[in-house]
Amino acid sequence: MSVWAALAGGFAGTFVLTTMVRAGSELRLTRIDLPFLLGSAFTTDRTRAKALGYLLHFVSGQLFALGYYALFVAIDHSGWWLGAIFGVAHALFAGTALVSILLPLVHPHMATDVTSAPDVALLETPGFLMLNYGLATPAVSLVAHIAYGTLVGGFVSLSQ
């Protein structure tokens, strides 16, 4: 198994995931904008937030690809189907612990249960399974993360 294949799969997977979520937004299935959520933690300038957010999202995609790779090595098996299963777990993590618990704790411009709107301009919290950004958001996220995992797993399995 090749770590380079995992990184290539992570890049391709992040590209596909990001495109799918953006398409979901354009089709009005979801209001989630992952790059903006990430970038706006560092700047209030909307254009800079999106640009920085895309960079951070691709870096995160590489880090997750390395995590997938470590799991493949640990169990001494890889494949697109196993990557798809990891993608389901990844989507569940992203939709629960990451955006509804961890992100509001560290994001300086995101609302929390203890802030009030008059304090500062805040982003709405994504909430559990990101449902605050639309009822179809969990499905869009799940399908996009399965595609990501499928690509990472597929790339790694082709490198054997």
Structural domain total, the chain: 1
Contact 109, 122 (CB under 8 A): yes
pLDDT at 31: 94
Helix pair angle (137-158, 46-75), 10° resolution:
50
Q: Is the pTM of this model over 0.75?
A: yes
CA 4-8-93 angle, to 5 degrees, is 105
pLDDT of residue 139: 97
> By residue range, what is the domain housing residue 10?
3-158
Residue 121, classed as helix, strand or coil, is: coil
Confidence at residue 118, expressed as pLDDT on a 0 to 100 scale: 52
Residues of the chain with pLDDT under 50: none
